[in-house]
């Protein structure tokens, strides 16, 4: 019995812990009167290195159209959560809010998303 328990402990402690999907934990929109906006987005993801990290976030119109994407060019293993900005996003007339979602190299989309009210 002791050997079985020891084996279980070794296996559970040596198994890699895989990061889940990337979550958007905060987002703000700063828009001018022509609805040209800058988005400041905070993402949390347990980046594991180059093969598994949050690699972008998108701003989506209510109809699902992607209005802008910020590509993240490297893992943020020791910087969690992290905030990045993207300006020059044109939001069409009409919508009063947009969705922000994050993507990672292994899971794609699927983490927490945030709805951002437009000023």
pLDDT per position as a tens digit, 62-109: 999 999 999 999 988 888 999 999 999 999 999 999 999 999 999 999
pLDDT value of position 119: 87
pLDDT at 10 over 70: no
Q: Are 25 and 45 in contact (CB under 8 A)?
A: no
Domains along the chain? 19-117 (2.60.40.150)
pTM beyond cutoff 0.85: no
| Mean confidence (pLDDT) of the chain | 87
Q: Are 76 and 82 in contact (CB under 8 A)?
A: yes
pLDDT value of position 18: 65
pLDDT per position as a tens digit, 56-65: 999 999 999 9
pLDDT value of position 52: 92
pLDDT value of position 13: 39
Instruction: Assign residue 11 a region (left: φ > 0; alpha: ψ between -120 and 50; beta: otherwise).
Output: alpha
Instruction: Assign residue 94 a region (left: φ > 0; alpha: ψ between -120 and 50; beta: otherwise).
Output: left
């Amino acid at each position: 019995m002791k050997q079985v328990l020891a084996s279980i402990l070794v296996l559970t402690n040596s198994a890699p812990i895989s990061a889940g999907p990337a979550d958007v934990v905060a987002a703000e929109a700063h828009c001018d009167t022509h609805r040209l906006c800058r988005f400041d987005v905070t993402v949390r993801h347990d980046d594991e290195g180059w093969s598994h990290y949050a690699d972008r976030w998108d701003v989506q119109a209510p109809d699902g159209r992607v209005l802008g994407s910020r590509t993240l060019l490297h893992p943020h293993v020791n910087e969690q959560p992290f905030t990045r900005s993207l300006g020059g996003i044109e939001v069409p007339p009409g919508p009063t809010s947009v969705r922000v979602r994050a993507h990672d190299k292994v899971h794609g989309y699927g983490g927490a998303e945030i709805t951002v009210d437009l000023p």
